[in-house]
């Protein structure tokens, strides 16, 4: 059985007090669910969020980390620093990291390898740009992102990987992939993994959809057989919206 997951990526939003307030509201409104619920506040708020959610089922995860264990990397955060505050899941490869911080598939591969070596769970993001889709290259782009960043991993590593297909053109734009487009790509991703590894891995990896998921469209997207949940940006910053999306799964 694949895990159902709803993860909120707060990006560079919410200071310490705002983080505490949003988490308080989320905890109060959290519905009964079989799904794993995760939130990714900024680094500054991670430790206090972990403490605040100690007795909650909501998991605090990180938005990023460096691939090195320590050293002269000004401004960076290491996996051990995350583990030290009991954060053991990390988002790697978000399109904003790729676009604004030059993170290539090779760099992302190093991050994934370090995270797995440290026994962390990885939410790995990837997806095509609009120009790729218009040129009918979206399957090729997604295949090469997976291949270059993940397909050197041992088969056993896949139990700690969650995939998040996030078409870049749908992130923060209000434009969403149709449920059919999401399903088509998720099925393709599973087929590609089955070819590179085997169907057992392809069938058990959770594949989240990300890109302008809102309360109004969540249920239809989540109803698709190969969509196992969502990575939610903007809508995760509003407790009622995030809760509605959790209910939709
Ligand atoms: C994201 O940042 O991963 C994302 C999907 O953002 P949004 O939901 O705002 O499109």
Atom of ligand 1 nearest to the CA of 235: 8
- Domain-by-domain residue ranges, the chain? 5-247
164 close to 121: Cβ distance less than 8 angstroms? no
Report the run of H or E that residue 36 belongs to, with start and end. strand 36-40
For this structure, is 138 an active site residue?
no
Catalytic site residue from 59, 143, 166, 186 = 166
pLDDT at 234 over 80: yes
pLDDT in tens, 24-38: 999 999 999 999 999
pLDDT of residue 136: 95
The answer to whether the CB of 9 is under 6 A from ligand 1 is yes
> What is the pTM assigned to this prediction?
0.97
For this structure, is 166 an active site residue?
yes
Average confidence (pLDDT) over 91-108:
96
71 CA distance to ligand 1 centroid (A)? Answer: 31
pLDDT of residue 175: 80
Q: How confident is the model at residue 159 (pLDDT cuts 50, 70, 90)?
A: very high
127 is in an annotated binding site: no
Long-range contacts of 132-138 (CB under 8 A, 24+ apart): 133/167, 133/169, 138/167, 138/185
CATH tag for 5-247 (out of 3.20.20.70, 3.40.50.970, 3.40.630.30, 3.30.200.20): 3.20.20.70
Strand 207-210 with 161-165, pairing: parallel
Catalytic site residue from 94, 103, 138, 186 = 94
Average confidence (pLDDT) over 126-135:
94
The answer to whether the CB of 245 is under 6 A from ligand 1 is no
Per-residue CA distances from 61 to 24, 50, 188, 208, 233 (Å): 17, 9, 27, 15, 14
Give the count of alpha carbons within 13 A of 160, CB side only: 20
Q: How confident is the model at residue 174 (pLDDT cuts 50, 70, 90)?
A: confident
Percent of the chain with pLDDT over 70: 100
pLDDT at 176 over 90: no
pLDDT at 171 over 90: no
Average confidence (pLDDT) over 133-158:
96
Bridge partners, residue 38, by sequence: 7, 59
pLDDT at 157 over 90: yes
pLDDT at 57 over 90: yes
> Whose alpha carbon is nearest atom 7 of ligand 1?
233
Average confidence (pLDDT) over 117-144:
96
212 CA distance to ligand 1 centroid (A)? Answer: 6
pLDDT of residue 78: 98
> Whose alpha carbon is nearest atom 2 of ligand 1?
233
The residue whose CB lies within 8 Å of the most ligand 1 atoms, and thus the one to mutate among 213, 236, 237, is 213
pLDDT at 96 over 80: yes
Mean of the per-residue pLDDT values for the chain?
Answer: 96
């Amino acid at each position: 059985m694949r895990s159902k997951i709803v993860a909120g990526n707060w990006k560079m939003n919410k200071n310490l007090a705002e983080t505490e307030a949003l988490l308080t509201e989320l905890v109060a409104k959290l519905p009964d669910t079989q799904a794993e619920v995760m939130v990714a506040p900024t680094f500054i708020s991670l430790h206090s969020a972990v403490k605040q959610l100690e007795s909650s089922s909501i998991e605090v995860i990180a938005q990023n980390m460096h691939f090195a264990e320590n050293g002269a990397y000004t401004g960076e955060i290491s996996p051990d620093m995350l583990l030290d505050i009991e954060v053991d899941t990390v988002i790697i490869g978000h399109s904003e990291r790729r676009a604004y911080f030059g993170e290539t598939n090779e760099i992302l591969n190093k991050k994934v390898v370090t995270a797995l070596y440290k026994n962390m769970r990885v939410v790995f993001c990837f997806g095509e740009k609009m120009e790729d889709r218009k040129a009918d290259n979206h399957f090729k782009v997604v295949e090469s992102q997976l291949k270059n960043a993940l397909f050197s991993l041992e088969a056993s590593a896949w139990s700690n990987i969650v995939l998040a297909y996030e078409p870049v053109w749908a992130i923060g734009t209000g434009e969403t992939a149709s449920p059919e487009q999401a399903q088509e790509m998720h099925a393709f991703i599973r087929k590609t993994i089955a070819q590179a590894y085997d169907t057992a891995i392809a069938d058990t990896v959770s594949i989240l959809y990300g890109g302008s998921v809102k309360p109004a469209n969540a249920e239809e997207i989540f109803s698709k057989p190969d969509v196992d949940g969502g990575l939610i940006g903007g809508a995760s910053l509003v407790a009622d919206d995030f809760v509605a999306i959790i209910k939709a799964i």
